[in-house]
Amino acid sequence: MPAPSGEVRAFVAIELPGEVKSFLRAIVTDLKKTAADVKWTRPEGTHLTLKFLGNISTDLVPVLETQLGPVFLAQKSVSLRVGGLGAFPSLGRPRVIWVGLHDYEGALVPLARRVEELLVPFGFDREKRAFAPHLTLGRVKSNRKIADLVEEVRQNMDVAGPSFCADHAVLFQSILRPTGAEYHPLVHFPFA
């Protein structure tokens, strides 16, 4: 469903470098071999979401740029490593298949909390679930071949991927298309 005129569907996220997207592509390719009924994400569009905003007025974009800029400028670059497969809510009832992000300095959770708190006065609800740094690989659509998928995830729970340094965040516009979501950067926020 497209955003109404004068609105954009938006979220705040950390972009991923090419080597991480290549790693995710390889994992998704392996997991697809199970033939489980999963809507797999496109690795080239994968990002680390800090806060999903939903439909917002285009007038709010410059306000968010002004308000969020100092939060990210106060953040040093964050060293991250991709690795570890899992499922939400659990491997016993998988709905989302993910790969983890290891945050060496423990900076992501406090950063996400600062973004969250800054946005509350603008009418954005607080998340009910705790922030868990992860990259979504796919969403389970049915139980077809689910046992095969779970077994493949179990066998690769300790998979290790590349490390990278996150040095900026982005306010993205998400455009929903029949072929999948397209993401367009609206504002880049450099870290310190």
- Among left, alpha and beta (phi > 0; psi -120 to 50; other), residue 71 is alpha
Residue 173 lies in a domain: yes
Average pLDDT score over residue span 69-87: 96
Residue type, 79: S
**Domain total of the chain:** 1
Indicate the Cα dihedral angle 56, 170, 105, 126, nearest 10°: 0
Structure confidence at residue 129 (pLDDT): 87
Structure confidence at residue 57 (pLDDT): 95
**pLDDT at residue 160 greater than cutoff 70:** yes
**pLDDT at residue 106 greater than cutoff 80:** yes
Residue 37 lies in a domain: yes
Residue 159 lies in a domain: yes
Catalytic residue among 47, 168, 184, 188: 47
Catalytic residue among 134, 168, 184, 188: 134
Cα(32)–Cα(54) distance, integer angstroms: 29
Find the helix or strand (DSSP H, E) in which 28 lies.
helix 18-32
Residue 2 lies in a domain: no
Q: Is 134 annotated in the active site?
A: yes
Residue 1 lies in a domain: no
Residue 63 lies in a domain: yes
Cα(42)–Cα(180) distance, integer angstroms: 8
For residue 114, the enclosing domain spans: 7-190
Residue type, 47: H
Instruction: Tell me the average pLDDT of the chain.
Output: 94
Peptide bond into 89 cis (omega under 30): yes
Length of the chain: 192
Q: What is the pTM of this model?
A: 0.90
Residue 133 lies in a domain: yes
Both tokens of residue 92? 């016993």
Both tokens of residue 62? 């410059």
- Residue 63 has phi, psi (to 5 degrees) of -65, -45
For residue 143, the number of C-alpha atoms closer than 13 Å in the C-beta half-sphere is 2
What are the tens digits of pLDDT across the range 43-66? 888 999 999 999 999 999 999 999
- Residue 128 has phi, psi (to 5 degrees) of -80, -30
Is 48:101 a contact under the CB 8 Å cutoff? yes
**pLDDT at residue 103 greater than cutoff 80:** yes
Average pLDDT score over residue span 149-175: 96
Q: Which CATH number does the domain housing residue 102 bear?
A: 3.90.1140.10
Average pLDDT score over residue span 71-85: 96
Q: Is 47 annotated in the active site?
A: yes
Residue 91 lies in a domain: yes
